[in-house]
Each structure stands twice: as C-alpha cells, then as structure tokens.
Structure 1
Amino acid sequence: MGAHARRAARWAVGRLAAVEGTVASAARRLGVAWAAVWSWVGDAAQQVADDPKRVGPAARPGLDETVTGSAGRLRRRRYVSAAVDAATGQVLDVFDGRDAADVGRRLASQPPQWLAGIEVVCCDPHEGYRSRITRARRDTHLSDSVKIAADAFGIVRLANQALDGARRRVHNETTGHRGRKRDPLYHARKLLLTGAERLDAAGWDKMLAALDAADPADEIRECWVAKEHVRDIFRADDPLDAQQHLDEAIAWCEHPSAPPELATLARTLRRWHTEIATAVRTRTSNARTEAANARINHVKRSARGFRNLRNYRLRILHAAGPKARQPQPVTPIRTRRPSLVA
C-alpha cells in the first residue's frame, strides 16, 4: 500500500470510528469502491474486536436491547442486545436477539474466568434476560451468588406509561376525541410526568388545575401518586426505606379502586420485587448502558440501518473502542494594534 493509500485508509478509519459518515460516503469522497473502504475499516474494527485487552473483568455488566430491523408483513421485528460494563460504560459485545436462548448462547461462549468475576447483572424488566441468567447459574460457570438488578429507568418508565395511558383513556372517555392543544390534560401532559421535586409553583398550579377540570374520578391523580411512589423507591438512601416505598407502591396499585392501568404495574413490581431491592442495595443501574446504547443507535442511524449483523457488530465495537486523544486546536486571537505607542 502506497503512502497516499495509507493516508486515505487512516482518514476513512478515523471518520468511521467517530461516526461522522458511512462507508459509502467515505468511498464517494475518496473516489474508490465501497469494498476498498470496508477492507480498511473492517480490518481496523476486527483488530479492536480481537484485542484481548479490550474487555477486562466486569463485575457488573448491563444488558440492553435495540431494534435493528423493523417489523413487516412477512418479517418479525429484529433485536440486537448489547452487553456493557455498567461501571465504566465499555461495550463488551453485541449479539443477535434478546430472548433467553440468545442470552444463553452469549453466556456459554464466555471464558469461565470472566463469568466467575460477575457479581451483579443489571437489565430492564424483561423476562428473557432474567430467566436465562437464572438458568445460567446451573448451566455455565456463572456463580450461584450472582444477583440480578432491575434497571431503575425501566421501572420508572413503566410507571410513566401507566400514568400516560390513564390520561389518554380518561381524556377520550370525557371528551370523545384525542388530545388537542387547548385541552387541559393534553396541555399538562409533560407536567404530569415531571418529578414532584422539580415542579415550581406555577407548574403545580397548572397541573392541579388540569386535574380538577378534566379528572372527575381522580384516576389520573391516583396514577400520578403511584408514579411518585415508584420514584421514591430509587431515591431512598436506606434499603429499608426503599423496601417500605416498594411495599407502599404495590399496595397503592393493588387497591380495589385503583385504575386498570395500575394493575399491570402492580404485577411487574411484585414479580420483580427481589431485583428492585437488589438494584437499590447495590446501587446498580443501566445509566452507562443506556449511554452506550445511544451510541449504538447513532451508528445504526448513520448507516440507515444494517442487514449484515457482523458488519454492524464491528462498526459498534470500532466506534466504542479507545480513541487517540486529539488536543483541541487553538485559534489565534489577533489583537488590535494600539494607535499610539508611548
């Protein structure tokens, strides 16, 4: 490879690593074929993926999924799961699917020493993740003491969905149409999802006025209280206080007069009771996993989707790999020359 080709390869590899374009756009810019650019980028990404120092021991890995193929008339929606170190945000690997069998194949392919170092696995409240991790304690070298932590964001999101579903249902029942700009509930929809501690006096007045005007049976108000109970679980510093908030949230959602949207939330809270308590006790969340998943979605959007899972995985690991530190160029400031010099 000549000097010009090496320079072009370095430029293409750096551009794709920074997710500043696609293989096709880099090929058009350089005036070469797509296969030529991918040979450079693919080799560099394969070196990153095969680097034994890239993945170290991860005591608290997190699992999260993203849609890589939309559903159609003749095809099902396709998911890709990412395993991320919840402590550092390092993308450990990407594998196809999110079902129990997919997670099992991923765990079975890992070295026993790496599996033995896992202490807590953080995941969304998805049964496919939990069932396979529980079974892996028997089938693989995963320790029996490994705990499963439910991601706080996923649990609170379910509470927000219950509140939003109740708001839409009550609005349709009372007005006979979907939310419009001047409707009180539609106008206060974002205030309802905002944390109580973040509302100012004007926000409180606006939200309470909307509930007084368009919530005749106080169903939305009850869902709002349930949402705050769920948020209090993860805001508590003491695990015993968090346990009390969790029990209060379940009791509130299971009350006979509770809206129907809270029934599903109550079943989830009860089914994931142990995992929620583990998340509070160990202070484990998927915050860094969600940040890495945003980077993965950025790679997918930049290429307008992927049909080849191998290329998708290499692009993700390449973009999530270590980057050479480049100092910010300093722009010289040209000062005015004084008109008079003493």
Structure 2
Amino acid sequence: MWLVVWRSGWHTVWSAVEPELKQRADDPDRVGATFGVGFDETVMNSATRRRRCRYITAAVDTATGQVIDVFDGRDANDLHKWVSAQPRGWRQNIRVVCCDPHEGYRKAIRALIAQGLLPAGTRLATDPFHIVRLANQAITRARQRTQQQTTGHRGRKGDPLYGIRKLLLMAAERLDPRGWQRLHQALKAGDPCDEVLECWQAKEQTRSIFKTTNPQTAVQRLDDTIAYCSDPDAPPELQALAGTLNRWHTETITSVATATTNARTEAANAKIKDIKRKARGYTNIGNYRLRILVATGHKPHQNTPTTRIRTHKTPLKRE
C-alpha cells in the first residue's frame, strides 16, 4: 500500500483562501453604524539598516471592540485619506473619536471636521491610560536623574530610589502599610530635594482627573494639576508634563464627559500583534489586513461558538 503525501506551498494555499477572505472583509454588512472610533498604531515591520520602521493603524469601534479596518501609516495624511474613503453615511454617525496624545491624529481629525467629512459635533477624546502614563514617565525620569546626581551612577540593588521604582508607579490606594513605610524611608534617604516626591504627587493628581464622572470637577482637578506642574520651582519633568496636559486639555475633559477610552482599541492591537507573531511577521500589507479583519473584524454577536468539552465521568461501580 502506497502512502501519497501532497505538499502545498504557502502561495498555493493562500490563492485558494484569499477570495473568501476578501469577500468577508468587503462585506458591507460587516460594519454597522459606529458612534465612537478609536485609532492606535502598531509596528508592522521593525527598522533595519535598509528600511525604516513601518507602522499600521487600526480603526476600532470603541463600544464593541470590533476592528473596522487597518491601513498603512500613522501620519495625519494617512488617517485623513482613510476616513475620506469611507461611506458618507457611516461617517455621519460618528460622535466621538479617541486616540493617544499623538499630534498627527489630532491634526487629521480637526481637518476632517473643518472640511465637513466628519459631523460638526464630533468630539475628540484622548486615552486616560496614556495621560497617566506620561505622569509615570515623569516620575521615572526624575528618579533616574536624581539617582545620577546623588550617587553618580545608574540605579543599583541597594540604592534607595532604585528599590522603590515599582512602588512609585503603583496607585496610592493599593499601597499597604509596609509599602508606605518603604516609600517614605527611600524618599527620605535618596531624594534630598523632594523632586521625586513632587512627581509622585503630580502623578496622583493626574490620576484623580479620571476618578470622577463630573466634567466640572475634572476641569478643576486638571487645572490644579497643570498649575502644580507649572510652578517655576517644579522639576523639569513636571514642567514638560504641564505643557502636554495644557495642549490636550479639551481632549482630556472630553474623555471624562463621554466616558470614552481606547481600552478596546488596545485590546484589538494585542490581537493584531498575536496574529503577526504566529505568522512570524508579514511583508504584504494586503495579506496582513485580510488576516486581521477575518480574525478580529467581526461583531461581538458573531463570535464562533466554542466547542463543548466533555468532562470525564467516573463509571458507576457495580455492587
């Protein structure tokens, strides 16, 4: 008896499934009315000596987490081109656009609203996670700078500030009594000018902005944080943070007022990275886009039902 093994190359298999994938991706009923859209970029190809880093941007429904589409680039022109190519009826339903504190995205959204390609009442919101992340980065940079000034070297095991590098980034309400004790002792020993302490306090003030659902309260807390960071005697890291908070003031308050975040957009980006990791990378943006839309471009109620696993039952013993 002869056993015949057929070996097919990737191009042969892909040519067979590509028409079906394109049909599903281009289905007009795949994406319904969208009221909130989130944009976030991810790396498609890392930089090498012969090419620059290549980015792709995912457009995600902020309410459902459905990946609407993926397009090449992350600049203002790339986003403007993609939105302009979408059906007018779909664009007119958008009410909120959420993105990271990326000037390219904001510039494109403002231009689209001014040109009438998006409704005049469309509001732009920034992601709370990334705003708080900027405050965490200010702590880290102030800690590293203070470490160099006081010890003359990078953080090492046994250095006071290096030992609390994770405690400084932890939410205040999550610290237990032992954590508070370690924090106070390390700051007292390794922060002679209290600059790291000031950055930590600014971080907690930044977090408090998103702990309320009242826009007026959020405005007051944001203004107080900007004033605190803008003090002439404040560390340079806080002054840089104040500039960013001031530039994104309106978008930050919109995030609180509309309860809009990029959480589902970030979750979709994690799935996109998993797709690239399983395939060991992609070089063709068209193939990558089809694979992403088939895997993550469905609505929540279109999930494939999971197979029920039969549990092992112990047979009855005969008496």
Please, what TM-score do these two structures have when normalized by structure 1? 0.87
* Farther off after superposition, 172-181 or 217-226: 172-181
How many residue pairs match? The answer is 311
Could you tell me which amino acid in structure 1 is paired with residue 211 of structure 2?
Answer: R
Post-superposition CA distance 1:283-321 (Å, at most 9, x none):
100011111111011111112221111111111111113
Among candidates 124, 131, 141, match of residue 155 of structure 1:
131
2:287 pairs with 1:299: no
RMSD of equivalent CA atoms: 1.6
Q: Is the Cα–Cα contact under 8 Å of residues 63 and 83 in structure 1 kept in the other structure?
A: yes
Could you tell me which amino acid in structure 2 is paired with residue 78 of structure 1?
Answer: R
- Secondary structure of 2:286's aligned partner: helix
Q: Is the Cα–Cα contact under 8 Å of residues 272 and 292 in structure 2 kept in the other structure?
A: yes
- Secondary structure of 2:221's aligned partner: helix
Give the direction of change, closer, same or farther, for the CA distance of 1:155–1:73 in structure 2 (3 Å limit).
same
- 5+ long unaligned stretches in structure 1: 1-28
Query: Aligned equivalents of 1:126 and 1:207: distance in 2?
Result: 33
> For residue 81 of structure 1, what is the aligned residue in structure 2?
57
* Farther off after superposition, 135-144 or 190-199: 135-144
Query: Aligned equivalents of 2:162 and 2:24: distance in 1?
Result: 49
2:229 pairs with 1:229: no
- Secondary structure of 1:231's aligned partner: helix
> For residue 331 of structure 1, what is the aligned residue in structure 2?
311
Post-superposition CA distance 1:142-179 (Å, at most 9, x none):
11110000110111111111111111111122112211
Post-superposition CA distance 1:205-226 (Å, at most 9, x none):
1112111111111111000011
Please, what TM-score do these two structures have when normalized by structure 2? 0.93
2:143 pairs with 1:143: no
Query: Aligned equivalents of 1:142 and 1:61: distance in 2?
Result: 12
* Farther off after superposition, 127-136 or 140-149: 140-149
Aligned ranges 1:170-209 → 2 under 5 Å:
170-209=146-185
- Secondary structure of 1:191's aligned partner: coil
1:335 Cα deviation from its structure 2 partner = 4.4
Among candidates 100, 113, 117, match of residue 76 of structure 2:
100
Could you tell me which amino acid in structure 2 is paired with residue 297 of structure 1?
Answer: K
1:76 Cα deviation from its structure 2 partner = 2.2
2:248 pairs with 1:272: yes
Moved over 6 A (4+): none
- Secondary structure of 1:274's aligned partner: helix
Query: Aligned equivalents of 1:138 and 1:273: distance in 2?
Result: 20
- Secondary structure of 1:182's aligned partner: coil
* Farther off after superposition, 160-169 or 321-330: 321-330
Query: Aligned equivalents of 1:183 and 1:304: distance in 2?
Result: 41
- Secondary structure of 1:300's aligned partner: helix
Could you tell me which amino acid in structure 2 is paired with residue 243 of structure 1?
Answer: V
> For residue 115 of structure 1, what is the aligned residue in structure 2?
91
> For residue 219 of structure 2, what is the aligned residue in structure 1?
243
Could you tell me which amino acid in structure 1 is paired with residue 304 of structure 2?
Answer: A
- 5+ long unaligned stretches in structure 2: none
* Farther off after superposition, 172-181 or 255-264: 172-181
> How much identity, in percent, do the aligned residues show?
53
Query: Aligned equivalents of 1:30 and 1:115: distance in 2?
Result: 48
